[in-house]
Amino acid sequence: MPRAPRTPPSITEQIAQAADREGPDFDTAVLALTLTMFRAATAFERAHAAELLPHGLNTSQLNILTVLDRSTEPLTMGALGQAVSVRPANLTGVVDALATRDYVERISNPDDRRSFLIRISTQGRAFLRKFLPGHWTYLHRLMEDLTPRQQRQLQSLLERFLESIENNAPSPAANQLLSGRHSQPNRGKERVPS
């Protein structure tokens, strides 16, 4: 007889199981934080994806559009990839999809004839002007259970955590994979979220 589906263990249950298995020296705080961050990131990504689905976009595409919209000049693929934390191998496909919809344009790079610069198109900018007011309202709704102070604390802690990852990645190559950058991270460079 087939077993009835079981609900997955809660974070608390998973931590207790790991502590039992690993012994008394196991740092449960690291596992608790890791599981909570994964679940929060996944929930946020799903909520974001649900909002974008009717528009035929994904979060990477929206992030690229908003970065280009805020940029004062067209960006190289490398600069765009760094700004949105997308690996260069994945960036081309995302930009191609946006170009197919006429949301971005590729223009010749006057400094390097072998490469292109990417800029938001008039159609991409028009989409954002229509979409973003509701998007900001949606994001506020997702975060409404956090006070403004808690939101600032969370942002600060996440920035410190990202810096810790970049500082303590096992090697420069691993760090590049994590950040999508080709060189060592510039700690003073601001990241631009959507």
Strands (E), 35-155: 75-76, 104-108, 116-120
Residues in the chain: 194
pLDDT tens, the chain, 194 aa long? 667 767 888 888 888 888 888 888 888 888 899 999 999 999 999 999 999 999 999 999 999 999 999 999 999 998 999 899 888 788 999 999 999 999 999 999 998 888 899 999 999 999 999 999 999 999 999 999 999 999 999 999 999 998 998 888 886 555 555 555 444 444 334 344 44
3-state DSSP call for residue 119? strand
3-state DSSP call for residue 36? helix
Compute the distance between CA of residue 96 and CA of residue 165 in angstroms, rounded to an integer.
30
Tokens representing 38 are 């994964």
Q: List residues bridging with 118 in a β-sheet.
A: 75, 106
3-state DSSP call for residue 51? helix
